[in-house]
Chain A
């Protein structure tokens, strides 16, 4: 299976092209192709994780142009984990969409597959410019998906989202240009080697380029001063798209983790850990602002969007701490938060569908037709996302807090726990309003089974993550160790002539 590494990019691409057949109609066939392709991606994800779990770094040189000159896809523990996570999340979202959301506009399934292609490519690529290209692929698909179904709120949020991301892309190109000009390479592993021998007069240039990249990734990840686009866009997006977008902020987190651990690792001398101080303080700021936003939200979707922001702050704090233990904790938390917030977006849609005119707004409305089941799922999701035992959020947060050292504890513990409290208050208030403060006769139709499946698939990940906490945290710990030692990647890519195709 020498071509296994390229499958997560090629499979959605081919499926997306197949799905272009006829703009409207052929609904059943399109749904089948979309779901089968996404399910196949889950299988590929498991195969990649099994291959990477041994600790060996393998690469796929496109067109057999060997690194550092050719473009490579690199498979290590981190990228395998992210691809699998994307596929699992996407399967829940696409099955949910098959209940009818995909018919509100054209080409939903094709765009969905291309979005997956961009995300998987960004996770796998080992080349800085290629990272830009895959970012553009996933953004292009996300622009169209965000507007799927139309409507004033979506268009308004879309204008902000598109303009901001285009400006961000320009900045990305400038940063890549600066780094290429200073080091003469775009391959990340090669850049790491060259930074070790960087002439002093170019250090300033590389610092500027590196920090500009942080701004770009920060925009994608929605760090404190750059997050204003997120709540509105996520709250306006159609539910399955919002659920898939739960991985988009994590693409930014992944890029920060990857670029700064590989390129700006310990070997880079004075340039090592360029981002750490920035990320640490900004992450704490993000947490505080997100906590306020969670309390202030008057709509369930907006509330969940701010919960995404909470998770971004928590994850960034893990990067800011920088130790392998913190990175391991953040990876565990990342799996949990991606699936749970994705599931909550889907659940919010279900609740909105049954409340008639009140929708997801947190006001008195009619009682829900299937209120018991929905309330049960909401309870599971709320416990998981607020970080209460016995679900996975508590384990993630406990790992994170245990990883903090010395002075970091004084900052992280109160802020992280305080934000958790904010989330708890806001969620219990939302839950009691949605399920108890109701009057009139229940209305609305029973919900389709596919939607229930989507929500249960994603929220069910939380108990599963608790049951499998041992193996999962073993894997994340091994991943963090691999990340802390970038020499492995460098050796695999640059000193291993031939071998893999």
Chain B
């Protein structure tokens, strides 16, 4: 389970990073979303992976660390709100600048022309 989990987190992070580095706002927003998914998974795994464990410390039996779950919940809420905000901001930028490039330039490669 560990390796599958690690690979999933890694692939999500890599895809997120790649998309964040794109030049148009839509891929950037999708990239930020993927990145926050990856971070949530990562945070979740930080208490150690347990299956079928209750989220309370109850004797020596198998238990799941409750703190990462609380952290993930907070991170999800913040990440969700931020995604909504970035979407609106990207739309405003699109209507103000007339194109959806993150720098507001018409030509994505920007070579030769201002």
Q: Which chain A residues have a beta carbon within 8 Å of chain B's beta carbons?
A: 129, 133, 136, 140, 143, 147, 151-152, 155-156, 158-160, 162-163, 166-167, 169-170, 173-174, 176-178, 180-181, 186
Contacts and interface: CB of A to CB of B under 8 A. Distances in A.
Q: Which are the 6 A-B pairs with shortest beta-carbon distances?
A: A181-B46, A177-B46, A177-B43, A173-B39, A170-B39, A170-B35
Contacts of B20: 163, 167
B35 A162 contact: no
A174 B42 contact: yes
B97 A170 contact: no
A397 to B, nearest CB: 36
Given A133-B74, A160-B102, A178 B46 contact: yes
Interface in B90-114: 90, 92-93, 96-97, 102-104
A152 B71 CA distance: 37
A162 B67 contact: no
A196 B71 CA distance: 25
A129 B90 CA distance: 29
5 contacts: A159-B93, A163-B86, A167-B20, A173-B43, A177-B43
B11 interface: no
Nearest to A167: B20
Contacts of A158: 89, 93
- Secondary structure class of chain B's binding surface, majority of residues: helix
Contacts of B74: 129, 133
A129 B25 CA distance: 29
B97 A143 contact: no
Interface of B: 16, 20, 25, 28, 32, 35-36, 38-39, 42-43, 46-47, 67-68, 71, 74-75, 78, 81-82, 85-86, 89-90, 92-93, 96-97, 102-104
A382 to B, nearest CB: 32
Given A173-B39, A180-B46, A159 B67 contact: no
Contacts of A167: 20, 32, 35
Contacts of B43: 173-174, 176-177
B36 A170 contact: yes
B96 A163 contact: no
Contacts of B104: 152, 156
B96 to A, nearest CB: 5
A180 B68 contact: yes
A122 to B, nearest CB: 15
Contacts of B81: 140
Contacts of A174: 39, 42-43
Nearest to B16: A170
A152 to B, nearest CB: 5
- Secondary structure class of chain A's binding surface, majority of residues: helix
A173 B74 CA distance: 11
Most chain B Cβ neighbours within 10 Å, of A136, A140, A170: A170
Contacts of B32: 163, 166-167, 170
Nearest to B20: A167
Given A136-B78, A167-B32, A167-B35, A162 B89 contact: yes
A474 to B, nearest CB: 40
A162 B86 contact: yes
Contacts of A177: 39, 42-43, 46, 68, 71
A159 B25 contact: yes
A338 to B, nearest CB: 27
Nearest to A164: B20
B9 to A, nearest CB: 10
B82 A163 contact: no
Contacts of B96: 151-152, 155-156
Contacts of A129: 71, 74
Nearest to A165: B82
Contacts of B38: 170
A173 B68 CA distance: 11
Contacts of A136: 78
